[in-house]
Amino acid sequence: MFNGQPKGLYALALANTGERFGYYTMLAVFALFLKDNFGFNEGTAGLIYSSFLMLVYFLPLFGGMLADKIGYGKCVTVGISIMFLGYLFLAIPLGSGTTAIVAMGAALLLICLGTALFKGNLQVLVGNLYEDPKYASQRDNGFSLFYMAINIGAMFAASAAIGIMLYMQNEYGYSKEDSYHFAFGIACISLIISIAIYFAFRNTFKHADYSGAKPTTASQPVEEISKSETKERIVALCLVFAVVIFFWMAFHQNGSTLTFFAEQYTNHTVTGIETMFYDVWNLVLLIFVVYGLFGLFQNGSAKSKGISALVVVLAVGGLIWKYFSAESSINIEAPIFQQFNPAFVVLLTPVSMAIFGALAKKGKEPKAPLKIGLGMLVAAAAYIIMTLACVGLPEPSTHMEGGKEIANHVADVTPNLLIITYLILTFAELLLSPIGISFVSKVAPPKYKGMMMGGWFVATAIGNFLVAIPALMWGQSLTLIWGVLAVICLVSAAFIFCILKKLNKVA
């Protein structure tokens, strides 16, 4: 799985891991921060949340266009510096008045601008590593590994945010509203680590920092393609972008309506073996078990198999010890559910790569467009399950407390429902997101790589803005909200299956 990859992949992946840890730490509690600190209702909080996500993913279009002219590395460096300032401003407690709202808006804008320069251009650097014929066949696997690294950072984000907030409340007496700012402060630290990794290992990917217009070495010539082929590729990418919009609309409910559901409808007390799921270190041990088993059964030396076996034994032993030392009952907070998606990404990435690797050896691996279509079908399945599970549940309700509108806890649905939903959405994500990014890096005309990667993020941005629609519907029947998302995913899947021939032509 890790063999045959360029060294620069790991440096870029680790740099992105640190940045994503900060981003998802902030995002894990952001919607709840808007409600608790400013007293916004679900609709307003959801609109701000989705607008922020939209800008985070829309502005990389312009960051990519700029990088096509001045260089990807320069934009990455400037971008992460601007992001740091944004998180720093969020970490300053200013209360809940007009000044605080304006400062929050300024901080969010800085994060968006910094991400515009950082995110897409870092991924272009990853794509450029695979222009070398030596690594070309490993492109999809490389992006899957890169995507896995992103989610390692995201996996610890929710626990870190909740942990620091509860610690500051219980040990230092900070209010819940003020404790959010310490979670935002963690993001500042993570960015410092990220940029340190980027510069410490820059020599491993420096050769990939070239634009389509100005390659830096003779060994990386610009591929010349005709105007008609350029147009054909751009059209194909735009069709994929149209589908991606609706995937992200459905997927990013994790920080919006799915979090509201966790807060208002999910049982906040778990007992027995289920308590194991909510300790992120148990998820880490489970990941070691899976990776150890893959190492054990893959081709390799007796020494490597022995190490893999030892990893499995130690990880299983750790899980057994954690089980017998775990509390019989624990209380859980709504943001904790956001750790499951990134954990499942890390857990399932080798499974996904093994399945498609086996199919590739038989010449039966589906092309990227088909994988994307299948991803939409899987996403639809997640919301069909939510729709059926919520039949008969009461509609959301609120009460006034301290001049603020507070949501009522109206049901005690098993937390396993959300875990299953996140698991299925993760399957969909692995079929669509890393594969889609790889598809863009492969198909984009050489002179427009930054802009086309930016186009992927624009599609994501539009989808993220549409995230607000279910939040604005909050207060109505849950079966209606989840049913709308299921139908949207099904229609998107049908669309991409209809244009598969056109997409496969350039894939």
Q: Quick one: pLDDT at residue 299?
A: 63
Whether the per-residue pLDDT at 1 is higher than 60: the answer is no
Q: From CA 474, how far away is CA 469, in angstroms rounded?
A: 9
Q: What is the pLDDT of residues 81-96, one digit of tens each?
A: 899 999 888 888 887 7
Whether the per-residue pLDDT at 53 is higher than 60: the answer is yes
Q: From CA 118, how far away is CA 107, in angstroms rounded?
A: 16
Q: What is the pLDDT of residues 56-82, one digit of tens each?
A: 888 877 887 787 777 778 888 889 889
Q: Quick one: pLDDT at residue 95?
A: 78
Q: Quick one: pLDDT at residue 432?
A: 86
Q: From CA 387, how far away is CA 384, in angstroms rounded?
A: 5
Q: What is the pLDDT of residues 258-272, one digit of tens each?
A: 988 998 999 999 988
Q: Quick one: pLDDT at residue 412?
A: 87
Element (H, E) at 72: helix 72-90
Q: What is the pTM of this model?
A: 0.76
Where do we find the tokens 């007992």? Answer: 271
Q: How confident is the model over 138-161, as a mean pLDDT?
A: 78
Q: What is the pLDDT of residues 452-504, one digit of tens each?
A: 877 887 888 888 888 888 988 888 889 999 999 999 999 999 998 988 888 87
Query: Could you tell me whether strands 404-407 and 398-401 are parallel, antiparallel, or unpaired per DSSP bridges?
Result: antiparallel
Q: Are 352 and 430 in contact (CB under 8 A)?
A: yes
- Least Cα distance to 432 among 343, 492, 502, 387 occurs for 492
Q: Which amino acid is at 388?
A: L
Query: Could you tell me the pLDDT band of residue 219, with boundaries at 50, 70 and 90?
Result: very low
Higher-confidence residue of 421 and 401: namely: 421
Higher-confidence residue of 326 and 61: namely: 326
Most confident of 85-99, 301-315, 324-338, 376-390: 376-390
Q: From CA 446, how far away is CA 213, in angstroms rounded?
A: 8
Whether the per-residue pLDDT at 174 is higher than 90: the answer is no
Q: Quick one: pLDDT at residue 424?
A: 94
Where do we find the tokens 């300024």? Answer: 106
Whether the per-residue pLDDT at 347 is higher than 50: the answer is yes
Q: Quick one: pLDDT at residue 213?
A: 45
Q: Quick one: pLDDT at residue 482?
A: 95
Whether the per-residue pLDDT at 361 is higher than 60: the answer is yes
Q: Quick one: pLDDT at residue 216?
A: 43
Q: Quick one: pLDDT at residue 2?
A: 57
CA distances from 195 to 146, 204, 453 (A): 17, 15, 22
CA distances from 327 to 223, 278, 279, 319 (A): 60, 12, 11, 14
Q: From CA 74, how far away is CA 72, in angstroms rounded?
A: 6
Burial class (CB in 10 A: 0-12, 13-18, 19+), 431: buried
Q: What is the pLDDT of residues 82-135, one digit of tens each?
A: 999 998 888 888 877 888 888 888 999 999 999 888 877 887 888 778 777 777
Q: Which amino acid is at 136?
A: A
Backbone angles phi, psi at 89, to 5 degrees: -65, -35
Q: How confident is the model over 384-388, as a mean pLDDT?
A: 95
Whether the per-residue pLDDT at 274 is higher than 70: the answer is yes
Q: How confident is the model over 371-395, as a mean pLDDT?
A: 92
Whether the per-residue pLDDT at 220 is higher than 60: the answer is no
Q: Quick one: pLDDT at residue 304?
A: 78
Chain mean pLDDT for the chain: 83
Q: Quick one: pLDDT at residue 491?
A: 94
